[in-house]
Amino acid sequence: MNAKEISLDEKAVKPVVDMLNDYLANYHIHYQKLRGCHWNIKGQNFFTLHLKFEELYTNAQLTIDEIAERVLTLGKPPHSRFADYIKESVIKEIDTIGMNDMLMVEAVLDDMSKLIEIERELLKATDEAGDDGSNDMVNRFMQFKEKTTWMLRSFAGKK
């Protein structure tokens, strides 16, 4: 399949595909960080955060699949190597072993802030390319993170 087959201009959609691949890289690092937080959470917030991190990594896993499938829908291969994810991602890996529970929440909030920034840029690019399908997908993902950010900030006692 290519972009032309779904009535999109391939040249106009190329920046979107490149940005989606970068987005995919960031999501993979974020996903792994959530897994690490889930596995290594300790302390009085264990039960609450263990479940929340599982919910978030499950959602991230589904999101990753949708992003990769959208890249394929637009006619390009999605990146699939961790070396590429680490190189392309603005989100950085962390070691969650022994990490304080509230520092984990802060790390997740930081990732979500970066992902929302990427999503806002993607929304501009998809709008310019006339790519309503990618725009709808990214907007849905962003709305989830906006709400989750509010909830985690409330949990952490932040404004």
Query: Which one, of 62, 151, 70, lies nearest residue 112 by Cα?
Result: 151
CB-count exposure of residue 139 (10 Å: 0-12, 13-18, 19+): middle
Across the chain, what does the average pLDDT equal?
Answer: 95
Kindly state the average pLDDT of the residues 12-23: 94
- Any idea where the domains of the chain sit in the sequence? 10-155
Q: Where are the alpha helices (DSSP H) in 41-131?
A: 46-73, 82-88, 101-129
pTM across the whole model: 0.95
pLDDT of 146:
98
Q: What is the pLDDT of residues 83-94, one digit of tens each?
A: 999 999 999 999
**In this model, does residue 4 exceed pLDDT 80?**
no
Q: What is the pLDDT of residues 29-68, one digit of tens each?
A: 999 999 999 999 999 999 999 999 999 999 999 999 999 9
Q: What is the pLDDT of residues 87-143, one digit of tens each?
A: 999 999 999 999 999 999 999 999 999 999 999 999 999 999 999 999 999 999 999
Is the CATH number 2.60.200.20 carried by domain 10-155? no
Q: What is the pLDDT of residues 58-78, one digit of tens each?
A: 999 999 999 999 999 998 999
CB-count exposure of residue 66 (10 Å: 0-12, 13-18, 19+): middle
Q: With cut-offs at 50, 70 and 90, classify the pLDDT of residue 1.
A: low
Helices (H), strands (E): how many in the chain? Answer: 5, 0
